């Protein structure tokens, strides 16, 4: 291992993240009662320009009026982009009026580390001024060619940063990819056209102790397509995936929950290596296969994820 050690920024259960438009307050209570691990209240793309101010008011009321933590939810707010005049009021009004109830702020279309720094600096000043006892986390959406070109630097931009999200729709538009389905695949491409971007973002996250979250799948009438994309992301090592419709929440939870057989096998690996260590051996055999310290690290990932899910869901 390198002398430079990476520590996890903040562990949160993040298998499913339900997106809720700030302009539709009738959905807030339903989101809190859902089985989603995460809920983000959206002030950006899901809200029309004429509804921005009323949506901001709705979100502030929802943060203060719903006990998200008692519902077992992490709650986030996606602010408008730094290139808009809505952004500063989103951040100031939400944090000043309801920051005590807010877990994270999601920054859209992050292109350079300075985008994260700007939000971090404002949050730091407001937390000091308000005397907030908890630090509000930051999450960054990588959804442009500029953001992906700088993803490693963005991932290291702030100790407040907790997660990166792959915003596949805007990323496709930014790259001029030939696709019209959010998160869907073009049959002319031989495989998964998002694989390279997903892999690069994942490595940037893991190198900086961040969670990696896959973005949306737009066709909520196609559960098989959603699960196929989620399985590909889970196979790479992603923590979870967006749900743009309530029907996708349980699908994401299923995919990003290690199967019982996988958890049991991981525990057997750890047990076999403990026995080998007690006998003075660094490696062991299990079911006809060699296992060693690297096997233990992989197994611990599975067990720790399963334990974290059990701690929250029972």
* pLDDT value, residue 278: 83
Residues 235-241: what's their mean pLDDT?
A: 96
First CA to last CA across the chain, in angstroms?
A: 35
For the stretch 29-63, pLDDT in tens is: 999 999 999 999 999 999 999 999 999 999 999 99
* pLDDT value, residue 1: 66
The C-alpha atoms of residue 56 and residue 23 are separated, in whole angstroms, by: 8
Fold of domain 16-255: TIM Barrel (3.20.20)
Residue ranges per domain, the chain? 16-255, 260-313
Residue 179, pLDDT > 70, answer: yes
The C-alpha atoms of residue 16 and residue 257 are separated, in whole angstroms, by: 10
The C-alpha atoms of residue 267 and residue 269 are separated, in whole angstroms, by: 5
Question: What is the pTM (predicted TM-score) of this model?
Answer: 0.91
For the stretch 74-95, pLDDT in tens is: 999 999 999 999 999 999 999 9
């Amino acid at each position: 291992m390198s002398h430079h050690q990476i520590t996890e920024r903040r562990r949160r259960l993040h298998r499913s993240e339900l997106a809720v438009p700030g302009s539709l307050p009738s959905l807030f209570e339903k989101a809190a009662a859902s089985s989603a691990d995460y809920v983000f209240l959206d002030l950006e793309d899901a809200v029309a320009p004429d509804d921005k101010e009323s949506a901001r008011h709705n979100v502030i009321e929802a943060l203060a009026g719903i006990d998200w933590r008692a519902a077992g939810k992490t709650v986030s707010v996606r602010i408008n982009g730094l290139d808009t005049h809505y952004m500063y009021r989103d951040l100031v009004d939400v944090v000043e009026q309801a920051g005590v109830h807010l877990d994270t702020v999601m920054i859209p279309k992050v292109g350079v580390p300075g985008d994260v720094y700007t939000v971090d600096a404002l949050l730091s000043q407001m937390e000091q001024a308000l005397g907030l006892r908890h630090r509000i986390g930051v999450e960054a959406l990588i959804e442009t060619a500029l953001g992906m070109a700088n993803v490693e630097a963005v991932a290291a931009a702030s100790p407040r940063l907790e997660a990166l999200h792959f915003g596949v729709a805007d990323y496709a538009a930014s790259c001029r990819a030939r696709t019209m389905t959010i998160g869907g695949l073009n049959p002319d491409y031989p495989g998964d056209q998002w694989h390279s971007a997903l892999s690069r973002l994942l490595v940037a996250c893991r190198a900086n102790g961040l969670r990696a979250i896959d973005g949306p799948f737009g066709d909520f009438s196609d559960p098989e397509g959603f699960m196929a994309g989620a399985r590909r992301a889970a196979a790479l090592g992603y923590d979870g995936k967006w749900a743009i419709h309530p029907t996708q929440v349980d699908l994401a939870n299923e995919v990003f929950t290690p199967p019982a057989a996988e958890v049991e096998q991981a525990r057997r690996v750890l047990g076999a290596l403990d026995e080998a260590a007690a006998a003075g051996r660094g490696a062991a055999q299990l079911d006809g296969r060699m296992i060693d310290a690297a096997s233990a690290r992989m197994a611990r990932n599975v067990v720790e994820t399963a334990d974290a899910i059990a701690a929250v869901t029972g």
